[in-house]
Amino acid sequence: MTETVAPDIRAGISTDILIVGAGPVGLYGAYCAGFRGLRTVLVDALPECGGQITALYPEKQIRDIAAVPTARGRDVVAALKDQADAFGPTYLLGRQAVGLAHTPAGRVRVTLADGAVVDAGAVVVTAGIGTFSPRTLPAGEEFLGRGLSYFVPAPEEYTDLDVVIVGGGDSALDWLLALHPIARSVTLVHRRSGFRAHAASIREAYECGATIITDAQVTALTGDSRLREAQVRVDGEDQVRVLKADAVVAALGFLSNLGPLAEWGVELDRRTIVVDTRMRTTVDRVYAAGDVTAYPGKVKLMSVGFGEVATAVNNAAVALDPALSLFPGHSTEASA
């Protein structure tokens, strides 16, 4: 995917809206800002748009977008970027936002890790879970890259393999459902009897015929140059089960870190940013949307993030020019 990147911003760049985070929510925010005629810059520490989806789940099926029953992650990102690109936003990718200050005129100045400065009328933070690293599987870390992995960028690589998936969240169930039709066998191992995944995915997993072992943990991985077996201890059983395992996918979630954003003075609720109903943070002219935010009743779905970033951008637009209407109008009313 070719990105439009500012050629040289050592002297600084000025914009109406700066979006920190070029994942799905950030990309939709760029569209919303562009629709209102606002100049927009997106900055992201990752080298490509798409956030976690591009980095970890490009082939994963996304099912929580209205009117899109299912679509590959990479296709969702491509469509969102095409939508944003209609208004020509500037992408500053592979560049981390680190510092924030206000000018005497009330504008926001964000400093990037390379020393460049973006001067913006308002900032919208759509950083997802921030920087992330996978929770490791204590057993068999030495097989990382030799059968053990923490995500599935290319499902076809698991064709005709015996696969063990560890975990009980949405990712674990999604990978079970994606790999079961092509793998020789798929076994899910979860340390509890309850799952943290969508009810429909759990039901489908049990109905598809995959082996599901609950109240159990993978205690060791064995093999030679490649992984061959996984040892599983099940609560209440005296004998350790030995499973054939050409591949183990440890879908145990990720450790997140807001990094420098945590030093911007915004109110935090653990690792999320507190916002009000306008998606405003406690720092003037700084808004937030998507999984990075916290408020009572928050539901972490991509579709919710789309609504939040639309709210943030439109409220930011009014903050920039109080004469503007909060409601941007319908896209069907825009001239072609």
Helix or strand (DSSP H, E) at 76: helix 73-85
Contact 97, 20 (CB under 8 A): yes
Going by C-alpha positions, the residue among 238, 306, 276 that lies closest to residue 76 is 306
Quote the CA–CA distance of 10 and 15 in Å, as a whole number: 15
**Which residues, including other chains, have CB under 8 Å from residue 265's CB and lie 6 or more apart?**
100, 282, 283
Token couple for 42: 């997106």
Contact predicate 38/87, CB 8 Å: no
Q: Is 97 annotated as a binding residue?
A: yes
Please check if 276 is assigned to a binding site.
no
Q: Name every residue whose Cβ is closer than 8 Å to that of residue 312 and which is 6 or more positions away in sequence.
A: 29, 124, 278, 279, 280, 287, 288, 289
16 marked as part of a ligand binding site: no
Q: Is 132 annotated as a binding residue?
A: yes
Q: Is 239 annotated as a binding residue?
A: no
For residue 8, say whether it is annotated as part of any ligand binding site.
no
Would you say the C-alpha torsion 212, 213, 215, 218 has a positive or negative sign?
negative
Please indicate if the annotation marks 291 as binding a ligand. yes
How many CB atoms within 10 Å of residue 223? Answer: 17
> How far apart are alpha carbons 205 and 158 in whole angstroms?
18
Binding site as annotated, residues for FAD: 44, 52, 57, 97, 132, 291, 332
Binding site as annotated, residues: 44, 52, 57, 97, 132, 291, 332
